[in-house]
Amino acid sequence: MVYVVKNLPGDGPQVHVLVIGVSAYPSLPRQHEAPVAGTFGLKRLSSPALSAHRFQQWIRKAGRTGQLPKPLGTLQVLLSPSARERAVEPDLAGWEDNATARDVIEAVNRWKDHAKEHPDGIALFYFAGHGIQRNRDDAVLICDDFGATPNISAHTLDFGNVIGGMAPENDADPIARSQVYFIDACRKLPSQILGFERINVGQAFLAPLGGRDNRKRPVFFGTVPDDVAYGFDGQVSDFTGALLLGLSKAAPRRGQNNEWPVTDIALNEFLGLHLAERWETTGQEYQLGGAGFSVPICHLRAPPDVSFKVSIAPDAAIDCTTITIQDPATHTPVWHKTVPTRPDHPYPVVLKAGIYELSAEPSLPDFARPQPAYESVDHLLRVWPVSLS
């Protein structure tokens, strides 16, 4: 386990992070082998540990460069990489597997203790690996030693128990009120458990029964209920790849101190659009659990690049219309299309996030010049339409 302490307790609110990535699953069969009885048809993986490693690398860099909302207080990393991941990532070559249920539950309890240092702190939880569900609202995380014994509860973790156990016991409880969860795991309901009234799974906490729950706690699920999350052999998973991209781009507005904040709301919008566009290729779906809370996850030092397209209508106006996009504050052109050509249309554009002005100049009298249009260029913009009557 990698355990990093960036700041000493008492230095004010901090960010406390727990990252878990499980691929090895030594008691499960390899992908080409027959399923093993009592293990829900699960097999070994070759993407989650690498995905978790990339996420913890991002955490370290964001903490080092001051891009987290608070100073990085603690970071725990539990990984069980596959042979394939060890081969493609030198950092994982000598990693000692440490994502058994015992390791995970101990780390979750340490994470909760760290999160209790200040109510204004932020607690981040990331898991990548096998997962199942027992009902539509459920999520069970599968630890590395799953299948070692028939006792399912000894090798799993009830994610609902983690959520419940991180709730404040009362108003005086100093636990971080901002908590963000990322679950990159399948949520299939195995047919083997349909005949049982209840399947017991591992518990990390005795969850408090009372108390006012005033947390902001968005949960980002890598897939929807009763569906799978997709990974790639020796590569970062589709969800985590989109997550890391969103953490570098989902900043639509300038915030305080000339920084560009990435919140759970903006990240949710980005992931929904990005994964929807990739759905026909990967089949990956996505779900946000809980309402948008505007929890800051990180901030960018500069406006992010935004890719979009400019589309002219009607088609007859394409070959005779010049397009100019400029900064409305300085009237400085930032993009110009002087000689439109149909193979390029709709025209691809990359600009820094911000407010821009677009003007269209038709060279034929058949079309009237439209009024300049203003647009907020951010991660939600896909096409900027230009209509000439």
Cα separation, 110 vs 74, whole angstroms: 10
CA count, 13 A, side-chain hemisphere, 364? 10
Please give the Cα distance from 154 to 166 (Å, whole number): 21
Co-location of 170 and 91 in the same domain: yes
In terms of domains, do 133 and 211 share one?
yes
Radius of gyration of the chain (CA): 24
Same domain, yes or no, for 287 and 321? no
Q: Which of 276, 300, 324 marks a domain boundary?
A: 300
Same domain? 56 vs 103: yes
Domain residues for the domain of 201 are 2-300
Residue 344 pLDDT exceeds 90: no
Tell whether 285 and 343 lie within a shared domain. no
Does residue 205 sit in the same domain as residue 317? Answer: no
pLDDT confidence bin for 3, thresholds 50/70/90: low
Task: For residues 313 and 220, state if they share a domain.
Answer: no
User: pLDDT for 142-185, tens place per residue?
Assistant: 999 999 999 989 999 999 999 999 999 989 999 999 999 999 99
Number of domains in the chain: 2
What is the residue-averaged pLDDT of the chain? Answer: 90
275 and 347 together in one domain: no
Q: What is the b/e burial string over 50-61, where b = at least 16 CB atoms within 10 angstroms of the residue's CB?
A: bbbbbbbebbbe
Least confident of 95-109, 192-206, 337-351: 192-206
Q: SS3 of 36, please?
A: coil
In percent, the amount of the chain with pLDDT more than 90 equals: 68
Q: In CATH, what number is assigned to the domain containing residue 349?
A: 2.60.40.1120
Same structural domain for residues 171 and 269? yes
- Residue 244 and residue 109 share a domain: yes
How many beta carbons lie within 10 A of that of residue 314, not counting itself?
A: 10
**Model pLDDT for residues 308-340, shown as the tens digit of each residue:** 999 999 998 998 999 999 999 999 999 998 866
Q: What is the pTM of this model?
A: 0.92
